[in-house]
Amino acid sequence: MTAGIAPLRPSPAPLQRWQQTWRLLLVLAFSVLSWILTVNGLPSGIHPMLRVWLFAVDPIIGVFSIVLVLFRRRYPVAVAAITTAASAVSTIAGGAGLLAMCSLATRRRYAETLAVGVGFVLAGVAISVLYPTLDVQTDGPGQYWFTAGFMIVSVLAIVAIGFAVGARREELWSLQQRTEIAEREQVARAAEARILERHRIAREMHDVLAHRISLVAMQAGALSYRPDLSAEQVGAIAKTIADNSRQALEELRDVLGVLRADELNATDPPEPPQPSLAALPTLVADARISGLSVTLTDSTAGEPPTKSARTAYRIVQEGLTNVGKHAPGATVWVGIEGVEGQELTVTVLDSGSTGSAAPAPVSGYGLLGLTERAELLGGTISFGHQPEGGFRLRAILPWPASVQVS
């Protein structure tokens, strides 16, 4: 810390009653002892006015200083300066001056402490001149130098004690601040973790439930727009609607089970198996049953990483869901390609809507969730309408080479 710059910390905490009491008792004992030694050391033939001053004025100034020292924490510099000046004409005020100077030193304000310390040394010399004891009369001017040296040593000791107390307070305050910062950071990390988990669950619910419900809506719409369907076709579509509805309820139950695990004080339930590229044929088959014309081309060589494969599945799932909602009658081409050590590329391309249907509700979270998924893996995603018509969704995901263990 640079000299003369006060530490950036709040004022010290108020003293307890017993802490204030023993300090005042110590000051009072020192002051009374100094006064008694001064009275016993004075020669018998001193001036009457000096005797009046010693027995009447000196105690009044001393008591005033002791009362004033109670406010040393609120006005440290002013109290230290006044009590130091009072100690130049009052032996009883000397104890209060020492306590005020020590309290000022705890704040580690070097310039102010130095000024008060020099003033206290001069005040000690002045009080020895005011009360010429027998030693002074015997030793002459040399006694004043002895008094000055004694005062310097005393002031240095008191200031050192004050600095040590101040350093300890700053250390405790610093530890307290670091503890509070650590607690706030822990709360912030916990809140961030909860938000991230909520986003993850929201993405899962959207990716899973939106797809299932979209299939149900499209199949139910086919029943209302196709009165020419045979009884067998109606039964097959109805069975598909029931199956997708049941699967949607099961997946919703899994998600709610995760959310309620903490409330039930239970261990975290195992998450259901996550889909991968191996489940794409089933996903495409469900889309075909719902009325979409889908072509799947998988030219991957090897098994992609689990996270990349899962994200690729979700991208295809979201792409088919969006085609069914916003481009009824479109032809869809799904392409998966990539090799180990390079990249995994996922493309969902449709020809554009060829029919008319009621506008589907738009949440705006599907593509946003896919973007977050891809970025978390270190991949990229792009989407948009094509000049020749239709919509293209394309993602490039990492497929690092596996580490060979020798």
What global pTM score does this model have?
0.45
Domains of the chain with bracketed CATH: 17-140 (no CATH), 276-406 (3.30.565.10)
pLDDT in tens, the chain (406 residues): 444 444 445 556 666 777 778 888 888 888 888 888 887 877 777 778 888 888 889 889 989 988 898 888 888 888 989 998 998 888 888 888 888 888 888 888 888 888 888 888 888 888 888 877 645 444 555 566 777 787 888 888 888 888 888 888 888 888 888 888 888 888 888 888 777 767 776 666 666 666 677 777 777 766 766 677 777 777 777 777 777 787 777 777 766 665 555 544 444 455 555 678 888 998 888 888 777 889 999 988 888 888 888 889 989 988 888 888 888 778 999 999 998 888 999 999 998 877 655 455 555 567 887 888 888 888 999 999 888 888 999 999 999 887 554 4
Given a contact cutoff of 8 angstroms between Cβ atoms, the answer to whether 167 and 175 are in contact is: no
Nearest-CA neighbor of 65 among 127, 7, 157, 136? 127
Tokens 């000024």 belong to residue: 115
